Amino acid sequence: MQPIKRVVIAGGGTAGWMAAAAMAKLLGKNLDITLIESDDIGTVGVGEATIPTLVFFHKLLGISERDFMAATHGTYKLGIQFENWRDVGEDYLHAFGVTGKDCWAAGFQHFWLKGREMGISKPFGDYCLEHQAAVSSRFAHLPNNGLNYAFHMDAGLYAGFLRKIAEQHGCQRVEGKIAQVNTRSSDGFIDHLVLDNGQRIDGDLFIDCTGFRGLLIEQALHTGYEDWSHWLLNDSALALQTTAVEPPRAYTRSIAHDAGWQWRIPLQHRVGNGLVYSHHYLDDDAARQRLLDNVEGEHLTEPRLIRFKTGRRRKQWNKNCVALGLASGFLEPLESTSIHLIQQGIVRLLRMFPTQGICPADVLEYNRQTDFDVEHIRDFIILHYVVTNRHDSPYWQHCRNLDMPESLAHRIELFRETGRVFREGSELFDDSWQQVMIGQGLIPERYHPIVDTMSEQELRQFLGHIETNVANTVAGLPAHQQYLQQFVGKL
């Protein structure tokens, strides 16, 4: 085994600079870290909505949230509003955080379901603090992570912000285009890269962050790709930036159309918009027009087309190459999970860092854990398409009749019949499953019998108490924009 001293990160988008900042900050004293990026090629330029795990990544790196928010023109995010997903004209919000209370014997949804039967339950979201704060656009940091939050941020500015951290901790940046990836004939490991100006860059471990092209993991190592487009039909996106016409909401909007969906991500200085669609159901010109007809504010950019294939690389770690970000695979950004997966990959690699050399057991374990994460997120995303009342277009008819993964079919059936949801191992989503299943219109047939041990009066009090607590806490929060102005100091 060859000790790992030189790490080469190919690509300087969000994935590359997140990896560089974390590795330089945490392992930089023992490693030579080089990042190569090409100004000519640029980055994908999207990826501006996150989930709460990023807060912990920033803590790990010692990042000041105020500095981060100021540098990336960030806003706070408490969830995602799904508009027209359950049916045209119907909305719900998937919020970060727990709905109701952690009830030891049965989930809160069982109590809510009985209350619903009795006609005393309010909408499910009324029992969730983050939900209510989001819909009233209020925000503050509460003690003990009392309010779960994430960020909206400018992706280009975020890469620049991380670059500073990486360079401060010794990461060396090389600008140039990688023209060749040379492998060793003995074991097929990557030996060095050659830039188009002839510069040679040697390394022991290579991190492929070159985006969809997967220059190292695929073009050089031929790792293979597992295509999931039979489950997730969308293959295209158009992205467009506009000026803001209202104060930033504390949530992302996801608006379903008849052949895809549209995102709206509010930043301090502008709004990120995009349409994700299947070009088999909506041609590119029609998609472009659809997006233009459905944005507000002045256009700051032209609509930019991005094609993708949903799926994952057969191995995320192959030989001496680890793929992160778009090079490792892609799930559409419906639940803003890509940056989370980058972060997971980085933290996993740091935990298993092969200082003494790469051993097959580490590689196997890394890939096993990554597969687990991605498959659960994949199922959660598919859920939004298969549980819906929409059948108003060929696209939605196709989605409703998908032959979904067995793991998802089981979860849906279990919830439909019994109201039960079990979090599997360390999977990312927990309360989210109930929120989205109920939000998409799936109401279980039964509730857990333990709920019947409460009298009607007790149940009323139990539900009423949670709802009042949530409402009182939200009433005490400042408006999101006002809080941003105070916290970041300028808007």
3 state SS of 205 = strand
With tokens 């498959």, the residue in question is 375
Least separation in angstroms between CB 149 and ligand FAD: 15
Among 9, 20, 24, 43, binds ligand FAD (CB under 6 A): 43
Q: Does 14 bind ligand FAD (CB under 6 A)?
A: yes
Residues 253-292: x/- map of binding to ligand FAD (CB under 6 A)?
A: ---------------------x------------------
- Per rule CB under 6 A, is residue 325 in the interface with ligand FAD? yes
H or E stretch at 233: none
Residue (of 171, 190, 172) closest to 180 by Cα position? 190
Would you say how long the chain is, in residues? Answer: 491
Toward ligand FAD, which CB reaches closer, 90 or 371?
A: 371
Integer CA distances (angstroms), 48 to 97, 202, 312, 334, 338, in order? 20, 33, 21, 12, 10
> Which of 21, 31, 46, 436 touches ligand FAD (CB under 6 A)?
46
CB of 158 to ligand FAD, least distance (A): 9
Among 6, 27, 32, 41, binds ligand FAD (CB under 6 A): 41
Chain positions 54 to 93 lying near ligand FAD, rule: CB under 6 A, are: none
Q: From CA 258, how far away is CA 327, in angstroms rounded?
A: 30
Give the Cα separation of 307 and 262 in Å (integer). 15
475 burial level (CB within 10 Å; 0-12, 13-18, 19+): exposed
Residue 47 sits in the site that holds ligand FAD (CB under 6 A): yes
Token pair listed for 370: 């990554």
Helices and strands, number each (H, E), in the chain: 14, 21
- Shortest reach from residue 341's CB to ligand FAD, in Å: 7
Output the smallest distance, CB 355 to ligand FAD, in A: 25
User: In 3D, which of 239, 306, 293, 307 has the Cα closest to residue 271?
Assistant: 239
Residue 177 known to be catalytic:
no
- Of the two residues 349 and 451, which places its CB atom closer to ligand FAD in the complex? 349
Q: Which two tokens stand for residue 53?
A: 């795990």
Question: CA of 490: how far to CAs of 73, 156, 270, 482, 485, in Å?
Answer: 10, 20, 14, 10, 5
**Sole binder of ligand FAD in the list 42, 224, 357, 476 (CB under 6 A):** 42
Residue 303, interface with ligand FAD (CB under 6 A)? no
Looking at 25, 77, 315, 319, which residue is catalytic?
77
Indicate the residue type of 367: N
Closest distance of CB 460 from ligand FAD, Å: 40
- Dihedral (C-alpha) 342, 260, 255, 333: value to the nearest 10 degrees? 0
Stretch that binds ligand FAD, among 91-99, 103-111, 165-173, 207-215 (CB under 6 A): 207-215
The residue range among 40-48, 292-300, 394-402, 466-474 that interacts with ligand FAD, by the rule CB under 6 A, is 40-48
Round to whole Å and give the CA distance between 98 and 113: 16
CB 7 to ligand FAD: min, Å: 16
Confirm or reject binding of residue 477 to ligand FAD (CB under 6 A): no
Among 28, 211, 260, 354, binds ligand FAD (CB under 6 A): 211
Nearest distance in Å: CB 260, ligand FAD: 11
Q: Which H/E stretch holds residue 301?
A: none
Output the six-digit token pair for 319. 């030989």
Q: Render the burial of 122-158: b for 16+ CB within 10 Å, e for the rest.
A: bebbbbbbbbbbbbebbbbeeeeeebbbbbbbbbbbb
Q: Which of 113, 114, 115 is nearest to 464 (CA)?
A: 115
User: According to CB under 6 A, which one of 7, 129, 165, 209 is a site residue for ligand FAD?
Assistant: 209
Site for ligand FAD in 131-190 (CB under 6 A): 155, 177-178
Residue positions annotated with a catalytic role: 77
Q: Which residues bind ligand FAD (CB under 6 A)?
A: 11-16, 36-38, 41-44, 46-50, 155, 177-178, 209-211, 213, 215, 237, 239, 274, 306, 308, 325-327, 333, 336, 338-339, 342
